[in-house]
Structure 1
């Protein structure tokens, strides 16, 4: 029972990182596609100001994920980080380079250096979620089992590639929706339509890649596919689809801020559907939650730590996100968003 609770907390924290970090990765994705120095000047300045107050805080979720895996499910942690060390290492390098590029780009005065740092930030914002998604696809495909050695076969399958592309599309979707709302609250009226169109494009990409993913998992990840097309997993996928449609409508309205909630809900519901589709396994058909669980005492301490974190850190994060989404932390000037 304790192991099951910790497993659901792990899934909840993964969803929090996918949504919180996904917004930032998505902003970096659109930074990559913003165009040259002059054409992309206004979008990139909006991205800088929208991300600056909160971009580091999302690492809290990632650290919590690692702690839960390591302490709560050591066999799962060992198996995943042994078999999938390469995509995870590439994702980690991308996180470091992405953070460095974002931190150094803004204060740098020389145009050539700004372009280099900006390129590092933008490219890493694309590659990092792709490799994280590819690793998740390797887990979902059932190719990763206790004793599996590191090899391309563990994560370079069609399922992993589709999962990586779906992750990138999800981050682009979240980033575009949030930037549409940011453009409105910062009165950057010329950028509202700019990011609204990109939100619709990313929704189309999500639908296409998601449909391909369901077709692929039917053969390569049959256990997860069955879970996604039956029972609670299917219900969550359908609710997520409704949330995506609602987001497409809300992002076109004057108060696009509500679209942020539906976009986050849609992505979180997909992550939840994945969790329900895999149960009772952490590694489909080879390692259950109970088999992977650590010592009972460790699991109980993890529940206690999670409770303390929810009481002490949770409210602070809620306040931070609320202040940021209401434009309180760092106002934007006309010069920043002007062409």
Structure 2
């Protein structure tokens, strides 16, 4: 008899479905033989049929249907230690006292400092519960300071295309970044300023930026390319957003170095995408960087906002062909062994 796995995520939108929010339910349904539902608001006219195939979306239109689903759910998953989640955990336990809880913290160092516990939250998360954090550095802090047990379970990568290992010889001299370009959190200007400095020492390299551009960032781009550094035209390339996942993976496959300059992350999805496709990863010192680089074995880490330090790391890394080729192979194997979503979900399931 199949077991029931339910995700409670009231704000579900299509962009969530390709992230951990959507991929964990997807894997539990497709690979672990669970009946899967998502409790959510109807926030899209149409949800992506690829990611919601054989998954029931319960839009919480009436209390009776919600209660019925909670009563038959074996594992109820939550993301984030928020009051609305604690309220649903309380409701779940009242109608299904034997049900199991999985709380994925989706935590960065700034949220960690804001979290407090009381008797109610400790009680709700202490019985029949798995609580996990994505990064090793936060796990160490939590172990020393929290009144509940927390496991380390990182974010991962799901291979939709049964991809073979990538040959380094098929890659190009490209530094890649992917994200919401120009947003404060992503700090895109840091990689652009670093590449401006490094470009003189790396004449055969290009910087490629993939993602939607924040409207307020266009002026910065125009000044950068046409007023201050016109020599970088043709070497700093903006592709715009790439929504087709196969085409996006092609960008990762072609690049040798992936750079993340974020000011804050819990465990960026792009880490798994870059590592799976054989990129040497240079990241700001955010959560997940130590994990995905295996303590800088497969990449390097620079101080947040420090574009001068980043420029030096770009020069030393991109000038070391032997290092890039070795990491290209090794990081692909490490990602398949330790950051593959099917294996991660099997680990989650093993706790229940």
- Work out whether the TM-score is over 0.5: no
Higher strand share: 2
Larger radius of gyration: 2
The structure with higher relative contact order (CA 8 Å, sep 6+) is: 1
